Amino acid sequence: MRYTHFKRADLDVSQMALGTWAIGGAGYGETEDSESIRAIRAALDNGVNFIDTARAYGTGHAEKLIGQAIKGYDREKILIATKCGVMVSTIKAIRGEQGHVRDASFANILYECEKSLRALDVDYIDVLYLHWPDFDTPLQETAEAFNTLKKQGKIRFVGVSNFTADQIEELDKYCQVDVIQQPFSMIVKNDVEIMKWAKKKGIDTFTYGALGSGILSGKYRTLPQFGEKDPRSTGFYPYFKEPYFSKVMLLVNELDKIAEEVNRPVNEVTLNWTVRNDFVSSTLCGVRTSEQAKANTSAFDWALTDEQFERINKAIEQYIDFDGSTSKQLRPRSASER
């Protein structure tokens, strides 16, 4: 495993961070809690030292699994991040509907932090993110909540996810923003300038979606059919529909060639390319099984050559003429929440 030194947070972080959206229960198919715990432990045993989760992932279920999985490990050597500010809509739940609301108010952030601490069964959280911008709450009020939690010793660092540069800069006036989390992959690149800007300010970036929910792993060769509630069938990931799917397959064919050269699977080539971009400090990889955890951590035992990196960039430029991002920061709150 390779590590990156984070400037503002002054932490050494594994270049693969463990994502836990799917194990919280998010429509990706059936998950077994026991296997999810084994997957978390497999990632830790293979060098991952950063676990990313959120209250919104199964309304705290992912957090509870993490709390169980880290028993017996040295807590001081494990970095845990969770996210606040996105809550299950009670009214929609009563109606049997899915959906979330954003609430970054002072009271709610303190409330959610307490819930997270209990679910994770820890005394402190290393990074607390604001999951999405809340356009109804002034950022100064949100900052006050973060600063209060830091003074109380309940969180160490502050992060934001899916923010614009202007929003990050505004929040940074009132409390130090240490890390950000943005979508980024070979087919999702609309936040590149934000990440480059953040790097110049000393703010490190976690990226999510490197494997495009599997489409850049080599797993899919024909257009798949997913369950009704699966995010890949709802339009959240537009590249699982035509004409975009076929364009991505042309790119995957080029990744196949490099995978053959290095005698590694396509998913490792994709993850290598992701962290090769100097504005990426660490990339989140979601896993549901111990086998997936081992397969993804193996990607950080080697590196692409300069020539291979540039060949991939040329293929992206040639085949990907669309932006597959779903993180439009100013979109209405009624849209699906990550």
Q: Look at residue 52 and tell me whether its pLDDT is greater than 90.
A: yes
Alpha-carbon gap, residue 328 to 337, rounded angstroms: 11
The three-point CA angle 113-118-122 to 5° equals 90
The answer to whether the bond into 138 is cis (omega within 30° of 0) is no
Question: CA separation (Å) from 32 to 25, 37, 58, 65?
Answer: 10, 9, 13, 11
Residues with active-site annotation: 57
What pLDDT is stored for residue 237 in this prediction? 74
333 is written with which tokens? 């709150």
Tell me: the pLDDT tens digits for 222-273?
A: 888 877 767 676 666 778 888 889 999 999 999 999 999 999 999 999 999 9
Among the ranges given (88-102, 264-278, 288-302), the one the predictor scored with the smallest mean pLDDT: 88-102
pLDDT-derived band at 25 (thresholds 50, 70, 90) equals low
Please give the single-letter amino acid code of residue 237. Answer: Y
Please tell me which residue, 230 or 154, carries the higher pLDDT value. Answer: 154
Report angle CA 337, 88, 33 to the nearest 5 degrees.
Answer: 90
Q: CA dihedral defined by 66, 291, 252, 22, rounded to 10 degrees?
A: -30
pTM of the model: 0.88
pLDDT of res. 318: 93
Least confident of 42-56, 92-106, 166-180, 207-221: 92-106
Average the pLDDT over 272-277 and give the result. Answer: 96
Of the listed ranges 113-127, 235-249, 272-286, the one predicted with least confidence: 235-249
Task: Outline where 23-123 has alpha helix (H).
Answer: 33-45, 61-69, 90-94, 106-120
Domains of the chain by residue range: 3-319
Residue 284 has pLDDT above 70, yes or no: yes
**Hey, which CATH number is domain 3-319, 1.10.10.10, 3.90.550.10, 3.20.20.140, 3.20.20.100?**
3.20.20.100
**Over 70: is that where the pLDDT of 17 sits?**
yes
- Digit-coded pLDDT (tens) for 57-81: 888 889 999 999 999 999 999 999 9
Strands 204-208 and 179-183: parallel
